[in-house]
A and B are shown apart, each in its own frame.
Chain A
Amino acid sequence: MKRWLAASVVAIALLGGCLRSERATGPAGTAEDTSPQRGGTLYRRLETDVVSMNPILATTRYDRLVANYLFTPLVNYDDELRIIPALAESWTISPDGREYTFHLNQKATFSDGTPVRAGDVLFTLRKIVDPQSEAVQIASSFEQADVTRSRVVDEHTVVIAFRESLASQLSQFNNLLVIPEHVYGRGNFRNDYNMDATGSGPYRLMSRVPGKEIIVRRRGDYWGTQPYIDTVVVKVITNETTAWNAVQRGDVDETMLHSDIWMRARSDPALTKKLDFRQFYGLAYNYIAWNERNPLFADKRTRRALSMCLDVPSIIKNLYAGTARALNGHFVPDQWAYNPDVPVIPYDPPAAKQIFTSMGWLDTNGDGIIEKDGKPFKFDLLITAGSVQALTIGQLYQNALKGIGIDAEISVLDGATAIQRILAGNYEAAYLSWDLDPDPDPFGLFHSSQIPPRGQNIVYYANPQADRLMEQARHELDIGKRADLYKQLQVILADDQPYTWVNQPAVKWAVNRRVRNVRDGKGFGLFLWYPGELDWWISGARSAPLRSTSG
Chain B
Amino acid sequence: MLVYVIRRLLYALLTFVGITIGTFALIHSVPGDPVLFYGGRLSMGGLSPAALQAIRHEYHLDEPLPKQYARWLQGIITLDFGRSLVDRREVTERIAEKLPRSLLLNVIAFVIAAAIGIPVGLWSASRMGRLVDRGSAISFFLLYSLPTFWVALLLMEFFSVKLGVLPLFGVTSDGYAQMTTGQQILDRIRHLILPVITLAYGQLAIFARFARSALREVIRQDFVTTARAKGVGEGGVVWRHALRNALLPIITLVGLTVPYLISGSVIVEDVFQWDGIGLLYFDSIRTRDYPTIMALTVVTALVTLLATLVADLLYAAADPRVRLEATP
Contacts and interface: CB of A to CB of B under 8 A. Distances in A.
Interface in B273-289: 273, 275, 279, 286-288
Interface in B90-142: 97-98, 116, 139
Interface in B238-281: 270-273, 275, 279
A387 interface: no
A141 B98 CA distance: 35
B167 interface: yes
A416 B273 contact: no
Contacts, number: 193
A249 B275 contact: no
Interface string A22-44: 01000000000000000000000
B172 to A, nearest CB: 8
B86 interface: yes
Contact of B31 (A143, A417, A435, A550): A417
A282 to B, nearest CB: 13
Nearest to B164: A20
Given A241-B153, A550-B168, A136 B160 contact: no
B174 A444 contact: no
Contacts of B286: 414-416
Contacts of B54: 131-132
B97 A456 contact: no
Contacts of A17: 165
B22 interface: no
Contact of A248 (B87, B161, B165, B170): B161
Interface in A364-409: none
A135 to B, nearest CB: 8
Interface string A233-268: 101111101100110110100000000000000000
B89 A194 contact: yes
Contacts of B287: 416
A548 B174 contact: yes
Contact of A245 (B45, B86, B160): B160
Interface stretch (A7-15, A99-107, A467-475): A7-15
A68 B52 CA distance: 27
Interface stretch (B61-69, B72-80, B187-195): B187-195
Contacts of A16: 159, 163, 165-166, 190
Interface of B: 30-34, 36-52, 54-55, 83, 86-89, 97-98, 116, 139, 143, 153, 156-157, 159-161, 163-171, 173-175, 186, 189-191, 193, 197, 270-273, 275, 279, 286-288
Given A11-B193, A140-B48, 8 more contacts: A15-B166, A134-B47, A194-B87, A212-B275, A237-B273, A245-B156, A419-B41, A456-B42
5 contacts: A12-B159, A132-B54, A236-B273, A249-B160, A550-B168
Task: Report, nearest first, the 4 A-B pairs whose CB atoms are least far apart.
Answer: A550-B167, A211-B275, A416-B32, A16-B165
